[in-house]
Chains A and B, each alone.
Chain A
């Protein structure tokens, strides 16, 4: 049951350094007051930046808001601080499940099980991942930490069960999969993803055609300058940024976002999308 928000708020007001922000943020999250929950979580993280539970709380809120990329970062951070953190392990398992990486999802659940074998929600999550149980059987926390009573995850799982993950969707589950991520072969032919302008116009094929050859020229330039292998090209435009990487020698991946996403962060997104692309390309062989 959600705790008394007023009482918890009063406690936090009395002692802003207190860890009560964890309970207050969670209570607000359960009430779906995401703005307030976010403020509390960030307030807490400002004061306790190395508190794994704080990052776990913020990740849950982000996941509830479907901001899976940032949720991933926060759970990842929680694990760096506390490698056995159950909430983070289950949260990351959930995100991997969402993008169809069942091996990673299972690996994270196994790590969670080793850390907390008595936790019944882990077995339930295993069952869902293995297709032995329906998504609503997911626990109230952990893998489904992302959500709780709000049913957001249940809806998500209902939409994309393990078996229903479309093979053609390279970037299934990643933000921007259908308007900001594009995978090409060496000849500039589209393998997956799509690009749309801010007006919703599909520019996939045109951009793909212009990008053909970028990889070759980047390689030639790097070779000429004796700089080794090229790792990526990032470019800043008037209305947005792009980042191009090479997931495998014969492919090229482009990530496009508006200017609110800084170039550095775009590079991180590109690396994550490249991982998904590599897995997908391997599955196609």
Chain B
């Protein structure tokens, strides 16, 4: 898969106001596949934790009969982490400011997941 669609997919996400960065992460091993992050964000560490958290949530939701998660959102005092598990074992991840339009970021993450899939 070429890097061009990856870059374009992340562009669409980072263009949303309040998004501090976006990444594509391999869900299996938590490695960064592509990233567009503001300075200071530790991409590789965030990717590893996002993949781990994603795996736990997926297993819990499947066990609960809800099916794998299609979107999840970690809400924190100073911002948020939003993740859409895409096809091909990729996670599309966004790191945001606290006052971001979550609905819009979710839509863009879903679109990005379609593109990279």
- A contact set with B: CB distance below 8 Å: 195, 197-199, 201, 203, 206-207, 210-211, 213-214, 217-218, 220-222, 224-242, 254, 256, 263
Residues on A with beta carbons closer than 8 Å to the beta carbon of B75: 230-234
B53→A237 contact, CB < 8 A: no
A203/B65 contact (C-beta < 8 A), A214-B56, A217-B49 known: yes
**Interface: B4 (CB within 8 A):** no
Among the interface residues B68, B71, B76, B80, which one has the most CB atoms of the partner chain A within 10 A? B76
CA distance A225 to B56 in the complex (A): 20
Which 3 pairs show the lowest CB-CB distances between chains A and B? Answer: A228-B77, A238-B67, A197-B65
For B64, give its contact among A203, A226, A231, A236 (CB under 8 Å): A203
Please give the distance in Å from A99's CB to the nearest CB on chain B. Answer: 24
Could you jot down 29 A-B contacts, CB within 8 Å? A210-B60, A211-B60, A213-B56, A214-B60, A217-B53, A218-B53, A220-B49, A221-B53, A222-B74, A222-B76, A227-B80, A227-B81, A231-B75, A231-B76, A233-B53, A235-B73, A236-B72, A237-B66, A237-B67, A237-B68, A238-B66, A238-B67, A238-B68, A238-B70, A239-B65, A239-B67, A240-B64, A256-B64, A263-B73
> How many residues from B make CB contacts under 8 Å with A?
33
A242→B60 contact, CB < 8 A: yes
Residues on B with beta carbons closer than 8 Å to the beta carbon of A220: 49
A210/B59 contact (C-beta < 8 A), A218-B74, A225-B46 known: yes
B72→A233 contact, CB < 8 A: yes
A236→B70 contact, CB < 8 A: yes
CA distance A234 to B69 in the complex (A): 10
CA distance A256 to B65 in the complex (A): 10
A230/B76 contact (C-beta < 8 A), A197-B64, A207-B64, A220-B49 known: yes
B78→A221 contact, CB < 8 A: no
Scoring B residues 8 to 33 as 1 if CB is less than 8 Å from chain A, else 0, what string do you get? 00000000000000000000000000
CA distance A27 to B28 in the complex (A): 60
For A239, give its contact among B66, B72, B73 (CB under 8 Å): B66
Number of residue pairs A-B, CB distance < 8 angstroms: 116
Residues on B with beta carbons closer than 8 Å to the beta carbon of A201: 65
Residues on B with beta carbons closer than 8 Å to the beta carbon of A214: 53, 56-57, 60
B69→A236 contact, CB < 8 A: yes
A235→B64 contact, CB < 8 A: no
**Interface: B104 (CB within 8 A):** no
B46→A221 contact, CB < 8 A: yes
Please give the distance in Å from A160's CB to the nearest CB on chain B. Answer: 27
Residues on B with beta carbons closer than 8 Å to the beta carbon of A195: 64
CA distance A221 to B82 in the complex (A): 12
CA distance A237 to B70 in the complex (A): 5
A221/B60 contact (C-beta < 8 A), A230-B76, A231-B77 known: no
Please give the distance in Å from B48's CB to the nearest CB on chain A. Answer: 9
Residues on B with beta carbons closer than 8 Å to the beta carbon of A236: 69-72
**Interface: B63 (CB within 8 A):** yes
CA distance A218 to B75 in the complex (A): 9
A229→B66 contact, CB < 8 A: no
CA distance A260 to B59 in the complex (A): 22
Please give the distance in Å from A156's CB to the nearest CB on chain B. Answer: 29
Contacts A201-B65, A230-B74, A233-B57 supplied; 4 other A-B pairs, CB < 8 Å: A211-B60, A225-B46, A235-B71, A236-B71
Residues on B with beta carbons closer than 8 Å to the beta carbon of A222: 74, 76
Query: Which B residue's beta carbon lies closest to that of A195?
Result: B64
Residues on A with beta carbons closer than 8 Å to the beta carbon of B81: 221, 225, 227
CA distance A188 to B18 in the complex (A): 34
**Interface: B107 (CB within 8 A):** no
B61→A235 contact, CB < 8 A: yes
